[in-house]
Amino acid sequence: MNPDDPTVAPSLKSWVESANTADSHFPIQNLPYGVFKPSADAAARVGVAIGDQIVDLSYLEQAGLLRTPRPLFSASSLNAFMACGRDTWRSVRARLSTLLAAGTATLRDDAAARARVLVPQASATMLLPVEIPGYTDFYSSKEHATNVGALFRDPKNALLPNWLEIPIGYNGRASSVVVSGTPVRRPNGQIKLPNQERPVFSPCLKLDFELETGFFVGVPNGMAEPVACADAESRIFGMVLLNDWSARDLQAWEYVPLGPFNAKGFATTISPWVVTMDALAPFRTRQPRQDPEPLAYLRHDGPHAFDIHLEVALRPQGGEAATIARTNFKYMYWTMAQQLAHHTVSGCNTRVGDLMGSGTISGPDQGSYGSLLELTANGKQPVDIGGATRAFIEDGDEVTLTGWCQGQGYRVGFGQCTGTILPALPIAG
């Protein structure tokens, strides 16, 4: 990433006044991409968040104010734009930064153009930003893996021998990835109760969230063309918040010998705005020390973690939201570059729009754990939610993830990733 990139200068301000407040997630230094409808009967198009507004990129494109290799933004996904590669990503970002800067009169002084190009976020409908051909979920937080291993195995051997050698992951279910705000129905499935010989078919009794981030592949690789760790970040378009909902009791019964299946396939929620790697570049920091040193194909020089503050809030139906966890992406043991390098080293190809989940992000103390499984010691120590308690998620509960990078007088934020739990479908018979 270019350390002299003018689009991330802390002094940069926008003529969109709401973008200049210290707590806005969407200052001019951010400019995340999403897909939206300005009204219920309008066609989907690509936009960029700025303050409390959305910039309609399809209008800028049609008006000749954005130059791209071909029409890209009158579209229902970001995939065509992502497929153009990093030079196009950066040229569009630079042009948008100029058009939205406080000193640029082009839109600032044209009331008619501003009325067409700006859409209030409050009146827009956000859609899934990317057509996702494949989804992989990793397991890259050492703290999380240690906590879970200690709960279910000998605490002295919480990490399995392979965990410190490779970024553990599994291929997930791309078809059930949904955008923030989409209700999530409690899954039914097989549960093995401790006092019964055979499993029962039941609604999930231990529904959980998983605080994660995800990244989208923008530059794919072909089969038998592994991605070098040093080159991996140049292929990543950007990041989102990700809640990989988890049915803990279904998972406990089904995961041996091949891992999670129905326990993970019912829903994964992502935030609507994709924050680019260029916007995140000023917040790069060193990843945790890796011991033993990874094999050669997983080594990279310099800092490859990012200082992203993350929070989880839970709101009971009819109640007030309470923040139950605060952590940071910088704690992740395996980096995004290492995840992509390992994913492709065997010859696996990726496609534009492939989504890679970080795995649950937990920190070093209990208040920084990224799941109820850890926060409540598998339900044994319920957390307080403003006078109520929760061991696991109940019907009607709303879970919201949020996160941001703190700059000098500004934030580069992700907005929110929210889902409300609906009751399980009735069981026939």
What is the set of active-site residues?
144
Contacts of 304 (CB under 8 A, 6+ apart): 233, 284, 287, 335, 336, 337, 338
Q: How many separate helices (H) and strands (E) can be counted in the chain?
A: 11, 26
Q: What is the CA radius of gyration of the chain?
A: 22
CA distance 117 to 134: 33
Q: For residue 145, give both structure tokens.
A: 């893996």
Q: How far apart are CA 325 and CA 43, in angstroms?
A: 38
Provide the β-strand partners of residue 143: none
73-107 burial, b at 16+ Cβ within 10 Å, e below that, comes to bbbebbbbbbbbbbebbeebbebbbebbbeeeeeb
d(CA 136, CA 348): 12
Cα–Cα dist 255/236, whole Å: 30
CA-wise closest residue to 265 among 192, 187, 351: 187
The residue written with tokens 């839970």 in the block is 314
Alpha-carbon distance of 96 to 150, in angstroms, equals 49
Which residue in 409, 377, 400 sits closest to 390, CA to CA? 377
Q: How far is the CA of 158 from the CAs of 64, 143, 307, in angstroms?
A: 58, 10, 27
| Pairwise CA distance, residues 200 & 185, whole Å | 19
Q: Which two tokens stand for residue 206?
A: 């231990």
